[in-house]
Amino acid sequence: MTDKKSEDFIADSQFEPLKPSAKFAKSARVNDDMLFREAQNDRLAFWAKMAKNLKWNSKWDRILDDDKPPFYKWFTNGKLNVSENCLDIHINNGLGDKKALIFEGEEGDTQVLTYKQLLKEVCKFSNVLTKLGIGKGDAVTVWMPMIPEAIIAMLACTRIGAIHSVVFGGFSPEALKDRILDSESKMVITADGANRRGKVIPMRNAAEQALEECPSVEKVIIVKRTGTSYKTKPGRDLGWSELMADANDRFEPVNMDAEDPLFILYSSGTTGKPKGILHSTGGYLVGVNTTFRYVFDHQEDDIYWCTADIGWITGHSYIVYGPLSNGSSTFIYEGTPDYPSRDRFWELVEKYKVTVFYTAPTAIRSFMRWGNDHVDKRDLSSLRLLGSVGEPINPEAWLWYHEHIGKGKCPIVDTWWQTETGMIMITPLPGLTPLKPGSASWAFPGIEVDVLDDNGNPTEAGQRGFLVIKSPWPAMLRTLHGDPERFENTYWKQYPGLYFTGDGAWKDKDGYLWIMGRVDDVLNVSGHRIGTMEVESALVEHPAAVEAAVIGKVHEIKGHAITAFVTLKEGYEGSDELVQELKSHVGKKIGAIARPEEIFFTYELPKTRSGKIMRRLLRDIAEQRDLGDVTTLMDPQVVATIKEGYTEK
Ligand code: 7RM
C-alpha cells in the first residue's frame, strides 16, 4: 500500500476534536472509561456481563469456545429466544403499552404497534408458520417492502427457531432466485407490491419469475400492500391477512441454543456468487443489544429512526434486534427521502419528534445538494444524537450534518462495521469520545482491532494499512452458508488467526482510526455493497459482450458510481442502443442499484502478465488521473487507447 494522501492529513489536522457538551455527557449512558477498563481487564468477563442483560433460559457453560478457530462459538450451551428478548421481557417489565414499532407509509398512512400488540402479531404469525409446516432450522425467505409485516415475519421466525433470509426488496427476481435456492428456503414471504415515489412496483408478480425455478418453495405468503393484482397459484399462494385472521395470538417461544443459526444475509463478495453470511442466536443478540444501548445512548423516551432497509444488515441489527431487545421505540418509513418532496425525512422527524437519527453518508450528501431550505423549514429540535454508517463520511458532509441537522448540539456517531461483524465495531460513544469529523474514532469496548502493513506489522501513525480484527467478538459471522472453506479463505488467510476486514485504514497520532473503504473488488454504491464480479458476470451473459471490467468511479453522492468497460464479440458494434441494452440487462439480473452509470466499449482490457484485469488503471482512467506504474502491463498500448477513447467521449 502506498502512503497516505495529503488530503488525509488535512482531514486529520484541520479540526479540534469536538467534546460532548456537559449537558449531553451528564445524562449519557457512558461518560467515563469504565466500560473500556472493564473490557481491557478481562474481555470475556466483560462480554459475559453484557450477556446478562438478556434473558437466558439456561446459562452458558463457556463464554468463548476457541478450540477450532476460526469456527468460534459463544455462550456455549446457553439457551434463549430472540423474540422473547425483544418482546415478552419488556411486557413483563411493565412496558407493554410502550410503542415498539412506529410506521409511516409513503402515502402518509400510519401504524403504531405497542410491545403488547407487536407480540400478539408475532405470536399469530408464529402459529401461521407452524401450521404451514415451518419449524426449527427451516429457512424462510423474506422479500418485502419496508412495512411492519416484514418485521413481524422476522421476529416470528426467531420465535419458532426458523432461519430468515431477508432479501432486499430492490433486488431483481434473478437475484432473489439465487438467494432462495442457495438458502434452500421452503417458504417465501412477499407483498403484492411496493410503493415507490408515487408508483406501484409489483412484487408478487416479479417474484413469480424467481419462484418458477425454485422447487424447494412449498408456500408463498403474500401481504396485501398496494392492491396490485396477481394470479394466485392454488395450493401454494396464501394471503397474509386471511391466515392471520383466525390465528391464535399466543405462542410459547422455542428455546434455542446460543449457537443455533438465527439468520442468513447475503452479501457481495469478490466473486459473482453472493456470500450467505450466517449469524447465530446468542452472540449476535448480545452484540447488537450492547452496542445499540451504548452507541445510540438508549434513553427510555427515545424515538429512534434508522433509515436503512431491513434487507441490509443495518436494518437487521439496528432497526429490529438492537432497538427492540432494549425496549426502544423504533420508527420505520416505507419511502425515499425525496418523495413527495425533498423535506420528507425532516417532516417525519418533526412529526414523530425523532430523537436519534441514523443514516448513510450517501443520503447526507444528497441532502446537502438539495439545499438547506428543505431542512430549515422543519422543526428538528427533538434530535439529540445522529449516526452515520455504510461508508467513510467525508469531513465536509460530517460538518454539514452536524450543523444543519444537529444544529451544532448533537454528537455524531460514525459507526464502522460490516454484515460479517453483525454489530458496530468502531465508533465513538457519544457522551465520552471527542469527535473528529471523518474518523470513526476507536474500537468499541471488548473489540480489538489494528491496522497492519503487508508483512503483518502494525503501521505507524499516518501510514496506510489493512484493518483487521484481532480477537473473536460475540456477533461475528459463524460461517458462510454451505461454504465453510470460502469462509476461511476470505477472512482468515491473509493474516493467519486474524479477521481480515477487506478495508484499508490508518491511525492518527491520537490513535483515531480513519477508514478508507474497501481494498478488494467490492464497490460501495450509496452504501450498498456490490461485487465488481457480480456486475461483470451479468454483463458477459449478454450475447454481445466478451469480457467486462467493472470499477467504482468516485461519485460525489453515491460514493461509487459503477463504470463498466466491455469488449464486444466480433460482429457487434458499440452503440448507444447497446449501452442501454447492457445497462438494463444488469438491472434485470441484479437490480437497479447495480445498473452501470457508464459503459465503454474497448477492444481489449488492460491486464497483468498473469492475465489479471488491472482495475486500478481503469479507475485511474475513469477518474482522469495520471496512470502511475504500468510496468506489469501485458500491453501498455491498450491503456493509451482506452484513455483516448474515454477522454474523447
Ligand atoms: C454496516 C454495513 C461493510 C463495508 C465496510 C466498509 C464500509 C461501513 C463504515 C464504512 C467507513 C464507516 N455493512 N463501511 N461503515 N466505511 N466508515 N462508518 O455497511 O457489509 O454492507 O458494508 O462498508 O467498507 O467494509 S456492509
Taking CA atoms, 19 is separated from 305, 410, 467, in Å, by: 24, 11, 26
Closest atom of ligand 1 relative to the 393 alpha carbon? 17
pLDDT at 7 > cutoff 50: no
- Interatomic CA distance for residues 494 and 497, integer angstroms: 9
Does any domain span residue 494? no
pLDDT at 226 > cutoff 50: yes
Closest atom of ligand 1 relative to the 528 alpha carbon? 21
Question: Nearest C-alpha to atom 2 of ligand 1 is from which residue?
Answer: 418
The more confidently predicted of residues 388 and 557 is: 388
Pick the last residue of a domain from 239, 254, 269.
Answer: 254
Question: Nearest C-alpha to atom 3 of ligand 1 is from which residue?
Answer: 418
DSSP 423-446: S--B---TTTPPB-TT--BSBPTT
Q: Could you tell me the distance, in angstroms and rounded to a whole number, from the CA of residue 254 to the centre of ligand 1?
A: 33
Q: Could you tell me the distance, in angstroms and rounded to a whole number, from the CA of residue 487 to the centre of ligand 1?
A: 19
Q: Which of 288, 359, 362, 416 to mutate to test the pocket of ligand 1 (most atoms within 8 A of CB)?
A: 416
The more confidently predicted of residues 55 and 538 is: 55
CATH of the domain at 542: 3.30.300.30
pLDDT at 11 > cutoff 60: no
Q: Could you tell me the distance, in angstroms and rounded to a whole number, from the CA of residue 428 to the centre of ligand 1?
A: 15
Q: Which of 310, 418, 491 to mutate to test the pocket of ligand 1 (most atoms within 8 A of CB)?
A: 418
Q: What's the rounded mean pLDDT across residues 514-534?
A: 83
Closest atom of ligand 1 relative to the 529 alpha carbon? 21
Q: Could you tell me the distance, in angstroms and rounded to a whole number, from the CA of residue 431 to the centre of ligand 1?
A: 23
Q: Could you tell me the distance, in angstroms and rounded to a whole number, from the CA of residue 100 to the centre of ligand 1?
A: 27
Q: Which of 310, 365, 389 to mutate to test the pocket of ligand 1 (most atoms within 8 A of CB)?
A: 389
Which of 555, 575, 583, 136 is CA-nearest to residue 361? 555
Does any domain span residue 403? no
Q: Could you tell me the distance, in angstroms and rounded to a whole number, from the CA of residue 312 to the centre of ligand 1?
A: 11
pLDDT at site 10:
45
pLDDT tens digits for range 77-131: 999 999 999 999 999 999 999 999 999 999 999 999 999 999 999 999 999 999 9
Band of the pLDDT at 567, cuts 50, 70, 90?
Answer: confident
Q: Could you tell me the distance, in angstroms and rounded to a whole number, from the CA of residue 326 to the centre of ligand 1?
A: 24
| CA 383 to chain CA mean position, Å | 23
Q: Could you tell me the distance, in angstroms and rounded to a whole number, from the CA of residue 387 to the centre of ligand 1?
A: 13
Q: What are phi and psi of 74, to 5 degrees?
A: -120, 140
Band of the pLDDT at 15, cuts 50, 70, 90?
Answer: low
Does any domain span residue 336? no
Closest atom of ligand 1 relative to the 515 alpha carbon? 11
pLDDT at site 2:
37
- Interatomic CA distance for residues 220 and 185, integer angstroms: 11
pTM of the model: 0.88
Boundaries of domain holding 241: 113-254
Does any domain span residue 479? no
Q: What are phi and psi of 214, to 5 degrees?
A: -120, 85
pLDDT tens digits for range 599-624: 999 888 887 665 667 777 888 888 87
Closest atom of ligand 1 relative to the 522 alpha carbon? 24
Q: Could you tell me the distance, in angstroms and rounded to a whole number, from the CA of residue 388 to the centre of ligand 1?
A: 10
| Of the candidate ranges 261-265, 277-281, 632-636, the one whose mean pLDDT is the lowest | 632-636
- Interatomic CA distance for residues 125 and 311, integer angstroms: 20
Per-position b or e across 255-292, b if 16+ CB within 10 A of its CB: ebbbbbbbbbbbbbbeebbbbbbbbbbbbbbbbbbbbb
Pick the last residue of a domain from 203, 234, 254.
Answer: 254
Does any domain span residue 230? yes
Does any domain span residue 468? no
Q: What's the rounded mean pLDDT across residues 573-595?
A: 93
Q: Which of 529, 530, 558 to mutate to test the pocket of ligand 1 (most atoms within 8 A of CB)?
A: 529
Does any domain span residue 159? yes
Does any domain span residue 343? no
| Of the candidate ranges 186-200, 212-226, 301-315, 354-368, the one whose mean pLDDT is the lowest | 354-368
Q: Which of 265, 415, 417 to mutate to test the pocket of ligand 1 (most atoms within 8 A of CB)?
A: 417
Query: Any residues with CB less than 8 A from the CB of 267 and at least 6 apart, and which?
Result: 274, 275, 277, 313, 419, 420, 529
| Of the candidate ranges 267-276, 373-382, 521-530, the one whose mean pLDDT is the lowest | 267-276
CATH of the domain at 135: 3.40.50.980
Pick the last residue of a domain from 202, 232, 254.
Answer: 254
Q: What's the rounded mean pLDDT across residues 441-449?
A: 98
The more confidently predicted of residues 286 and 644 is: 286
Q: Which of 264, 439, 503 to mutate to test the pocket of ligand 1 (most atoms within 8 A of CB)?
A: 503
| Of the candidate ranges 303-307, 511-515, 516-520, the one whose mean pLDDT is the lowest | 516-520
Q: Could you tell me the distance, in angstroms and rounded to a whole number, from the CA of residue 442 to the centre of ligand 1?
A: 15
Q: What's the rounded mean pLDDT across residues 569-598?
A: 92
Q: Could you tell me the distance, in angstroms and rounded to a whole number, from the CA of residue 390 to the centre of ligand 1?
A: 4
| Of the candidate ranges 26-40, 423-437, 558-572, 615-629, the one whose mean pLDDT is the lowest | 615-629
Mean pLDDT, all residues of the chain: 92
Question: Nearest C-alpha to atom 12 of ligand 1 is from which residue?
Answer: 416
Q: Could you tell me the distance, in angstroms and rounded to a whole number, from the CA of residue 416 to the centre of ligand 1?
A: 6
Closest atom of ligand 1 relative to the 517 alpha carbon? 24
Give the E-state strand segments of 129-176 in sequence order.
139-142, 163-166
Q: Does residue 193 contact residue 175 with C-beta atoms inside 8 Å?
A: no
Q: What is the DSSP letter of 204?
A: H
Q: Could you tell me the distance, in angstroms and rounded to a whole number, from the CA of residue 215 to the centre of ligand 1?
A: 35
Per-position b or e across 215-227, b if 16+ CB within 10 A of its CB: eebebbbbbebbe
Domains identified in the chain, total number? 2
Band of the pLDDT at 181, cuts 50, 70, 90?
Answer: very high
Band of the pLDDT at 642, cuts 50, 70, 90?
Answer: confident
pLDDT at site 612:
62
pLDDT tens digits for range 363-415: 998 899 889 999 999 999 999 999 999 988 888 899 999 999 999 999 999 99
Q: Could you tell me the distance, in angstroms and rounded to a whole number, from the CA of residue 22 to the centre of ligand 1?
A: 30
Q: Does residue 487 contact residue 70 with C-beta atoms inside 8 Å?
A: yes
Question: Nearest C-alpha to atom 5 of ligand 1 is from which residue?
Answer: 418
User: What does the H/E/C string look like for 350-405?
Assistant: HHHCCCEEEECHHHHHHHHHHCCHHHHCCCCCCCCEEEEECCCCCHHHHHHHHHHH
Q: What is the DSSP letter of 96?
A: T
Pocket lined around ligand 1, Cβ cut-off 6 Å: 267, 312-314, 389-392, 414-419, 440, 501-503, 515, 517-518, 524, 529
